[in-house]
Structure 1
Amino acid sequence: MKLRIEPVFLKGNCYLPASKSLSHRALIIAMLSRGINQLRGILDCDDTQATLQVIEALGGHYHWQEDQLFLDSRQIHLESARTLEVNASGSTLRFMLPILQTVGGVHRYHMHPSLARRTLAAYEPYFEMSRQQERLWVDGRLKAGEIMIEASQSSQFVSGMLFALPLLDAPSRLVLQGECVSVPYYEMTYQLLKEAGVSLTRQDARTFLIDPSNYHFHDGMLEGDWSAAAFIEAANFLGMSIDILNRPTSLLQGDREIVRLLQQIRQGSCQMDVRDVPDLVPALALAMALTPGHFELNHAARLKDKESNRLESVAHELNAMGAKITVAPDGLSIEGVDHLHGAQVDAHQDHRIAMMLSIAACLAQGETILNGAECVAKSWPQYFTVFRQLGGKCDEC
């Protein structure tokens, strides 16, 4: 979808979508609880639909009733001869893969090309994996004991093992290796597993002790998504006036840091470590691009392994609009400018790039043509509906 976006002042009230991270985890826990569970406020987007597709392929059944999802997981069988469709959802693939290998055997996956190029290296010591373009075959059985998992590539590998190890028949010790990144995300998994009755403790910051456990789904309304809120917060930082009516209040989501980090940018030139908040980089980069001073976003090299090479995407597209951004080996270097101009830009099939560019277009001088805007469906399908309700001027072209 190609949109023509005109500069405009966004104002009004909006509701955030439910947290995508919390929604994925709630679905996995409900699946493993082996019962009929009611999930309130689950995000319905491309990524959560991928998780639901896998659950259905494994024998689960679900139906929607307004914003409530009813999931029957009593007939779940982790052995599956079917090819499991995970689309472009890294969370779905990286969470499900070790869970399914607790029963061993070969599991087959089919995925979007953007996911096929993303790494699974942290799982290679434990499973045999073979790729052919968008297809993946995984063999091997996860066994209880000491599991060493590389934590420098993605927190999703840590969360995947945290989900899987309680399903085994003996205690396990999960040890994190390398530089830990996106720590709040696996801390979220740890907290939700505790609430679900899983027996696990921390030996230290890098070591989890996990006993065989039964899952028990804990019902609760899911809160709004701080990763999505980042773009609203950035818009307000740059002069817009938008009130979020369902602002998240818990401490589960690490991306709540957007508020503090924008305050830091307001103070002028700074260096920022984003290893734990990689999804905030597009919103932060836009805020920095239009603030006087020199800014650096560091410890962000793994953003090259997102839906797009997110460092290159941010720099290339904002530079096309007049920003001064350089891709560094470990992140981005940004010189603030006083304005952006309209341009033809591309979302690179990356939902967070599309949202960043839509806000940038509102602030630019002259109209902007945004190609690939439909990718927002990955995490916020109603984004451009909300955008228009806030006064955004965009039409398909």
Structure 2
Amino acid sequence: MPKSLSKLVFRQHWPLLLGLLVVLVGAGVFQGLSGTQMWHSQNSPEFRQMTIDHELHYQRASHQYIDGDGRRYASKKAFYRDYQQSLLQLYRQTPTKKTNSIRGMFGTGVNAYYFVIAMIAGIAMIWSTRRRYLNEFLQGVGYRRTQIYQQQTLLYGSTTALGVIIGSLANLAILAGSIPQRYFAYFKWSFWLRDLTNDVLMAVMLLLVAGLLRLTINNGVIVFAFLFAMYLDWWLPLAVYRQSGTHYGANFLSRNWVLGDSLVVLLGLAAWVVARWLSHRYSNEQRQQVILVAALRLPVILLLSLPVGLLVSQVINGLLAAEHGLISFAISWILGVVGLIAWIYRPKWSQRLWQMVAMLR
């Protein structure tokens, strides 16, 4: 890749790249500050007394105190010592069975802000290019769209990875500087680096998938809503069956993190390859189209209908207290397909509806 292209793309996108880096680092700082505040709040005498009043029950027969989990203590001081040594620790002593992670609750858990920011960055990458006609300028200089897209994703992907790394280090530094070291008793660099790798790969993958969807769907709000819905309910078969957002698939991949990270890398790479192929097919005449590639309209409708159907079925079940989750999802999915066809293809039977929508605007 010629150095001049990288310089040109950087000059075009540097405000967004700088903003992306600042926001990602800010998300890490915010997590550290909020985690520190939560820890000090739960370590305060007021919270300690409230915990003792609600958790401990004195048993006259044994002259012992019993907490909500059935653990016995000789005195309130013994309970508080155990409370400090276990519940106030920032990391778990042993990895959880569900996720095989030692992440705790005081600013050390998964920072979902990283992933939401990465989605928005992937959408903004394509949006800014089209709105300012940046590709047309670079094409006039002699570069191909595929070259331009490669350089854009390289800059945005590396900025996202750097932002997550710096933000996670800032989070750890804030916690270490504000909370006594004895509460880091179970911290392990190997687990921390593994979790950081997971976060970086997930953020970059979501950036690439968002870019692919934005190249396909000419509406950034719809792309973000679809991505966010799939992020929350990506393990769709169980989500449909149990009528709730589940984490069983995510927990399995967390326990088998090599497999999980491999799937994330493959998905991100596939999104990049397809988006690279789509990048040279776009023309300014397509700006008014909802789905830019005609051959992808039906697959995109079917894909978009899944989270739409899940959301509608959850609303229906909540209102009617329905027990037949699969049946309600099937009905909701059909309604979602019909609605999306009416929105994208604009058949004759729906034209009157869109005329009314245009009048309301």
Same fold (TM over 0.5): no
TM-score range, shorter chain: under 0.3
Question: Greater share of helix residues, 1 or 2?
Answer: 2
TM (normalized to structure 1)? 0.26
Question: Greater share of strand residues, 1 or 2?
Answer: 1
Higher Rg of the two aligned structures:
2
